[in-house]
Amino acid sequence: MEMNKDNFEPKIVAFVCNWCTYTGADLAGTSRMKYKPNVRMIKLPCTGRIDPLFILKAFERGADGVLVSGCHPGDCHYNAGNFHARRRWIMFRKLLDFLGIDDSRIHFSWVSASEGKKFVDVVNGFTDKVKTRGPFTRFKKLNEEFIING
């Protein structure tokens, strides 16, 4: 069956912080809220730990979308990690255009530990959005070429 936008299930990687969003996702679970199963979460201590290269790596490995989420500004467990993440994101965004990645494939959000419902909304909303963008193939080809040519 050929992949088209209707039967396409995007692969989404989420980089989340341990204290807010991971705990918020746990709350969504504890509250038995249902959401779309496309997201695979990678837990980090803080969004400040996120190297923009993680996001590129995820795209290179075949992700169709990347979700980044941490504590709300001012609520960082480590005081300021999320501010650094935000600043880095502003710079990184400019680079994305250069790399030819549609920046709507990356979603940056704040989900606190008490926002299970917001987590669900973010995941569902972003999954739908990436679905409309279709599969991300640009880096896949590069990856294949790299493998073929060594």
Partner 1 sequence: MKIGVFICHCGENIGKTVDCARVAKAASWLPGVVCSIDYKYMCSDPGQNLIKQAIKDHNLDGVVVGSCSPHMHEKTFRKAVSDAGINPFLCEIANLREQVSWVHDDVEIATDKAIDLVRIAVEKVKRNFALQTIKVPITKRALVIGGGVAGIQASLDIANAGYEVILVEKQPSIGGHMSQLSETFPTLDCSQCILTPRMVEVYQNPNIKLLTYSEVEKVEGFIGNFKVTIRKKARYVDDTKCSGCGLCIQSCPVKKKALSEFDENLTFRTAIYVPFPQAVPNIPVIDTSVCTYFVKKRESGKVACQLCMKKCDRGAINFDQQDELLVENVGAIVVATGYKLYSISEKPADSPIKGYGEYGYGKYKDVIDGLQFERIASASGPTAGEIKRPSDGKTPKKIVFIQCVGSRDEAKGFTYCSKICCMYTAKHAMLYKHKVHDGEAYVFYMDIRAGGKMYEEFVRRAIEEDGVKYIRGRVSRIYPKNGKYIVKGEDTIAGVPVEIDADMVVLATAMIAQDDAPKLAQTIGIPYDNYGFFNEVHPKLRPVESSTGGIFLAGACNSPRDIPESVAMASAAASKTLVLFGSDMLEREPTIAIVNENICAGCFYCKKVCPYNAIEIKQIVDRNGNVVKEVANVNAGLCQGCGTCNATCPSKAVELLGYTDEQIYAEISALM
Q: Would you count residue 74 as binding partner 1 (CB under 8 A)?
A: yes
Q: What is the 3-state secondary structure (H, E, C) of 32-84?
A: CCCCCCCEEEEEECCHHHCCHHHHHHHHHCCCCEEEEEECCCCCCCCCCHHHH
Query: What count of Cα atoms within 13 Å lies in the side-chain half-sphere of residue 63?
Result: 24
* 137 part of the interface to partner 1, by CB under 8 A: no
Residue 16 interacting with partner 1 (CB under 8 A): no
Per rule CB under 8 A, count of chain residues that contact partner 1: 47
- Residues 6 or more apart from 96 whose CB is under 8 A from it? 103, 106
Is 5 near partner 1 (CB under 8 A)? no
Counting contacts by CB under 8 A, is residue 130 touching partner 1? no
Query: What token pair was written down for 11?
Result: 């692969």
The contact pattern for partner 1, residues 78-107, with x = CB under 8 A and - = no contact, is: xxxx--x---x-------------------
Query: Which parts of this chain interact with partner 1 (CB under 8 A)?
Result: 11, 13, 19-20, 22-23, 25-26, 28-30, 32-35, 37, 40-46, 48-51, 54, 57-58, 61-63, 71, 74-81, 84, 88, 112-114
